[in-house]
Amino acid sequence: MMDATESLGAVIVEDERMFSEMLARALIDVSGLDLMARAYTVEEGFSACARHRPTMLILDLALPDGNGLDVLRALIADRPDATAIVLSAHAEDFVTPVELENNIAAVISKADAYGAVNDHVRRLVRTYVPNVEDEAALIDRLTPRELEVFNLLGEGLTNRGIAKRLSRSATTVATHRKMIAVKLRCSGAALMAMAARHRSHYAKIPS
C-alpha cells in the first residue's frame, strides 16, 4: 500500500452491494487512489472513517440506518479538508447543505456513474496528489497496435517473442516499444512492471 502522502485514501459508503462492488472495480486502475474500505451503513461508515481517516468519501445518501451525509459530517469533524462525491438516485433534486458546500466535490446520478465518477475521482487525485502519474490516462494515449505490444510485454514476452506472436519484424516491435516508452514516460523494468499491472488489472478490492 502506498504512503498516505502519495495517494488519495477513499472509502465507499453504499448500501447496494452490487453497485458498491462494481464501483470499486471501476476505480481500481485509478493511479494514486487508495480504496481503503467499503461500508454498507452509516454505522459502518463511521467506523471505517475512524479507522482509515480517508480524504475522500464516495457516498450514497439513503442508507438503511440513516443519511449518508452524516458520515461525511463525522469525517469533517476529524478532517476538515475531507471531500466527498455524492451518489444519488435523485441527483437532480439534491440540494447541497450549506455547511457541506466546501466538502462536496460532485453530485452524481447512479445511472451515470462510470464516466462521472471516473472523471471526478481522477480530478480529485490530481488535486490532492499532484505528483502521481495517471497511468490509465497515459495508456489511453497508445495506439491499438502499441496497446497490443504493451499487453504482450505485460505477459513477460521479449521483443522477439512479441514479434513472433504478431508476425512482425523485431525492429518494428522495437520501434513500437520506444514509442510506448516515450508515451508512458518510463522504460526498462519500470515499463515492464507497469505493463504487468495493466495486464493483471484486478488487484483485490477491499470488502
Partner 1 sequence: MAEFVDATTLVLVLSLGTMAFGGVAMVAGNADDLAIRFWSAGFLLGGGGLLLLLLRGRIADVISIQVGNTIMLTGVGCLLAALVVYAQRPRFFYVVALWFVASVLLFNSVASPPILAPLHVRVLVIAGIVALSQLLAVVILSGVQFRTTRLLSVLRFSHAALGVAFAARFVYILQTHTASDYLGPYPFISSSIPNALFFMAAIFLAFVQGPTFMMLKKEQADNEAFAARKQLADEVASRWAERRLQAARLDDARAGTIEHFARGVAHDANNVIGVLQLGYGQIRDQVKRRQKVGTDALNLMETALDQARVTTSGLMALGGKEPPPLADVCIETAVDEVASMLNSTLPQTIRLELDTEPGLLAYTHRGFLISALLNLASNARDAMPRGGVLRLATQRRDRLPEGAVRIGADLAGPMVDIAITDNGYGIEPEVLSRLFRPMFTTKEHHDGHGYGLYMVQGVVDRTGAALVVETVVGEYTTMHFLMREIKRG
The least distance separating partner 1 from the CB of residue 3, rounded to whole angstroms, comes to 27
The least distance separating partner 1 from the CB of residue 80, rounded to whole angstroms, comes to 25
Task: List beta partners, residue 207.
Answer: none
By beta-carbon proximity to partner 1, the closer residue of 4 and 113 is: 113
The least distance separating partner 1 from the CB of residue 83, rounded to whole angstroms, comes to 21
Task: List beta partners, residue 11.
Answer: 37, 57
Coil/strand/helix, residue 157: coil
The least distance separating partner 1 from the CB of residue 109, rounded to whole angstroms, comes to 7
Please give the Cα distance from 175 to 157 (Å, whole number). Answer: 16
Q: Show the cell assigned to 106.
A: 460532485
The least distance separating partner 1 from the CB of residue 183, rounded to whole angstroms, comes to 13
Q: Show the cell assigned to 85.
A: 462525491
By beta-carbon proximity to partner 1, the closer residue of 66 and 172 is: 66
Please give the Cα distance from 39 to 68 (Å, whole number). Answer: 10
Please give the Cα distance from 113 to 59 (Å, whole number). Answer: 12
Interface ranges with partner 1 (CB under 8 A): 15-19, 21-23, 25-26, 40-44, 61-67, 87-90, 109-115, 118, 139-140, 144, 147-148, 150-151, 198-199, 201-202, 207
Which of 46, 124, 59 minimizes the C-alpha distance to 85? Answer: 59
Buried b (16+ CB within 10 A) or exposed e, 107-135: bbebeebeebbeebbbebbeebbeebebb
Please give the Cα distance from 135 to 133 (Å, whole number). Answer: 6
By beta-carbon proximity to partner 1, the closer residue of 1 and 18 is: 18
By beta-carbon proximity to partner 1, the closer residue of 64 and 130 is: 64
By beta-carbon proximity to partner 1, the closer residue of 6 and 164 is: 164
